[in-house]
Structure 1
Amino acid sequence: MKTPHVAKSWLLTLALLGPMLASAQQDAPLEPKEKGYAKLTGIDMYYEIYGEGDPVLLLHGSFWPIAFTWGELIPALAKNRKVIAVELDGHGHTPLTDRDMTYALHAKDVAEAIRYLKFDQVDVFGYSFGGTVALQLIVDNPDLVNKAIIMSTAHHHQGWHPSVWDNIREFKPDFLDQTPIKALYDSIAPNPADWTKFITKQLAFELKPFDVGYDNIKAIQTPILYLMGDNDGVSNEQKMAFMEAADIGRSGDTDGLPPSQMLILPGRTHVGLGMETEMLMQHITPFLDGILADKFLRMMQQ
C-alpha cells in the first residue's frame, strides 16, 4: 500500500530538484570550453568539456541530462580538473537510437567517446545508472580508467532495494511530463517528439535484469571510491559486496590500506546525496589526488 505514495514522493523530489540545480547554474554560470558530438559506432554522443587539469569523465543518472545531474558539481571540479560530461543514448542532446540497450553497449559507447576525444586515460565519476555503466567500463576497458567514483549504484539488479523495483513498475511513460526535466528536454533534444519513446525505452531498460558480475568486480584493480547514502535505495547486501570485492575492511594499521574506499553517509537518500556538492568535494578531491594514501604512507614510514 505504501508503494504509490513513495513513487509520488520520488516524482515530487525530481520535480523540485530540477529548478534547484538549474538555479545553481544560473547563479554561477560556467560555459563549456568545448562541446559537440562524438561520432561513434551507431550513435552521435553529446559531450561538454570544462576546465584544465587531469581529466575526469562524468556519467549521469537515468533520465537526467548533464545540467540536472552535474549542474553544481562541474564548476567545483573544473577549478582544478578537465571535466568531460557526456549524455548517453537518448538523454539530453544525444539522439535516441533504436538499439537494444545493455550496460555493455553503454560502456562501449563511453570507451569509444574517450578515444574519440583523444584521452589515453581518465578518472570516471558515475552516478546511479551512470555508476553501473562506469563499472562495466572498468571491467571491459581497465586501461582507460585511472580512478573511479561510484555513487549510489549497484553491479546487478538485485543490488537495489525491492522498493526501488516496486516504484519503477508503478511509473508510466508520462511520469515526468510535468517536471523541469521534460521542459529542458524539449529545449535541447535534437528531436523533442522522441520524449515518450525515450521514457518508455529507459523505463524498460531499468526493469531489465543485469549483472556486471561479482567476480568481475572483485578482479578490478582500478582504485574506486564508493559513495553511498545509508538510505539511497542500494541494498545493504550490495554495499557489503562492494566492500568485500574491494578488500575494504582489513586491519589497515597492520595490513596497509587497500586502493579502494567506501563512504556511507548518514541520513542521505538517492537523490539527496547528489545535491551536497561541498560535502562530496571534501571526499572526491582527496581520493582523486591521493592525499589520504600519501599521508598514510608518510605516517607508516616515520
Structure 2
Amino acid sequence: MTTTDLRVDEGYAPVTGGVRAYWRSLGEGGTPLVAVHGGFGVVEAWGGVLERLAASRRVVAVEPQGHGRTADVDRPFTWDALADDVAALVRHLDLGPVDLMGYSLGGGVSLRATIRHPELVRRLVVVAAPCRRGGWLPDVLEGMAGVSSAGFEWMRQSPVYDAYAAVAPDVDAFPALMDKTGDLLRTPYDWSDEVRAITAPVLLAYGDCDSVPPAHAAEFYGLLGGGLRDPGWDGAGRPASRLAVLPGRTHYDVATAPELATVVDGFLTASVR
C-alpha cells in the first residue's frame, strides 16, 4: 500500500500556546489512529508503517511543536504541553475518541495525553518509550545529558537533519529544537502511579535490543495488569493490554518495522475481554 492508493489530506491545527501543528491524514474509515513520531522526526519517519495501517482506517500523523513543518513558538517543551497539543488537535479535527500511537519521545507524549485526556483515547500504543525516566538504559541517559545545540554541527551531517531541513519553515531553528528537546529529556518523571489508573487497553512495543530494556518493558506491562497471573487454559484471565518485543529490532528501526504495523493492527482490531 502506498500513499497513491490512499486518500491523503493535510493541514494545520491551532492547538495550545500559539502552536499551529501540522497534520497529515491517510486513509479513511474506522476509529482514527493519531500517530506522534519521535524526537527530531517528521511524519515520514514512520517509514511505510502508517500506510500499512491506513489500509483499514484513517491515520492522522502529527508533527509536534518545533518539529518538521510545525513552527516553534516561545514556549519550552514539557510533556504536558505537548500532550495537550495532541488532545487539542483531536478536538479541532473532531476525530472523537481515537486510537493513539507514539514512538520514543512521541510515546511519552501519547502516554501523557492518555493520562490527561482519557475521554479522547480508545486504545493506546506506546512504541519504545518508558513510563519513568529511569526506564532508559544508563548509557542512553548519559547521551541525553549532552543533547543541546552544542552538538549541532554533528547533527547537521545526519539524515535526521536532512529530513527536517527539507520541510521546516525555518531551518535555522534546529539548534533551538536541540536545546528544548535536551531540556525535556533531562526532566525527571515517573508516571507509574498514573499508568496503573489507565483504563484504556494499551499495547507496549519494543525492539529486543531497544534503548528501553526488556526488564522495564515487563515492569511497565505489569503496571497495566499484565504478566501478574496465569490467564487460564481458555485465556479468560488475559489482560486487555499487550506487550510485544520485536526480535532483531533496535530503538532506531522498530518504528519503521513492517511487523510493527502487523502487531498494531492486530491490537486495534481485537475484541477486548
Normalization by structure 1: what TM-score? 0.82
Partner amino acid for 1:61? G
Find 1:176's aligned residue among 155, 159, 181. Answer: 155
Question: In the alignment, which residue of structure 1 is the partner of 2:211?
Answer: 233
Unaligned runs of 5+ in 2: none
CA distance in 1, matches of 2:219, 2:159: 36
Q: Which has the higher helix share?
A: 1
Structure 2 counterparts to residues 57-72 of structure 1, below 5 A: 57-68=34-45, 70-72=46-48
Task: Tell me the C-alpha RMSD between the 2 structures.
Answer: 1.9
User: How far off is 1:155 after superposition?
Assistant: 1.4
Share of identical aligned residues, percent?
31
CA distance in 2, matches of 1:280, 1:184: 22
Structure 2 counterparts to residues 107-118 of structure 1, below 5 A: 107-118=83-94
Question: In the alignment, which residue of structure 2 is the partner of 1:40?
Answer: 15
Question: In the alignment, which residue of structure 2 is the partner of 1:220?
Answer: 198
User: How far off is 1:47 after superposition?
Assistant: 0.5
User: How far off is 1:143 after superposition?
Assistant: 0.8
Does structure 2 conserve the Cα–Cα contact (< 8 Å) formed by 1:32 and 1:48?
A: no
Find 2:267's aligned residue among 287, 295, 299. Answer: 287
1:286/1:236 Cα in 2 relative to 1: closer, same or farther (>3 Å)? closer
Partner amino acid for 1:263? A
Does structure 1 conserve the Cα–Cα contact (< 8 Å) formed by 2:35 and 2:60?
A: yes
**Partner SS for 2:153:** coil
Question: In the alignment, which residue of structure 2 is the partner of 1:136?
Answer: 112
Question: In the alignment, which residue of structure 2 is the partner of 1:121?
Answer: 97
**Partner SS for 1:252:** coil
1:274 has 2:255 as partner: yes
CA distance in 2, matches of 1:181, 1:240: 30
User: How far off is 1:166 after superposition?
Assistant: 1.7
TM-superposition CA deviations, 1:175-219 (whole Å, max 9, x none): 3201232223223111112122212221222222223x2111011
Question: In the alignment, which residue of structure 2 is the partner of 1:201?
Answer: 180
CA distance in 2, matches of 1:101, 1:133: 11
TM-superposition CA deviations, 1:25-46 (whole Å, max 9, x none): xx94547622111012221111
CA distance in 2, matches of 1:228, 1:182: 25
Unaligned runs of 5+ in 1: 1-26, 298-302
Deviating beyond 3 angstroms after TM superposition, the runs of 4 or more aligned structure 1 residues are 27-32
User: How far off is 1:268 after superposition?
Assistant: 2.1
CA distance in 2, matches of 1:36, 1:257: 40
Larger radius of gyration: 1
Partner amino acid for 1:40? V
1:243 has 2:221 as partner: yes
Find 1:154's aligned residue among 126, 130, 133. Answer: 130
CA distance in 2, matches of 1:196, 1:111: 27
Does structure 1 conserve the Cα–Cα contact (< 8 Å) formed by 2:202 and 2:242?
A: yes
TM-superposition CA deviations, 1:125-150 (whole Å, max 9, x none): 11111111111111111110011111
Moved more, 223-232 or 174-183: 174-183
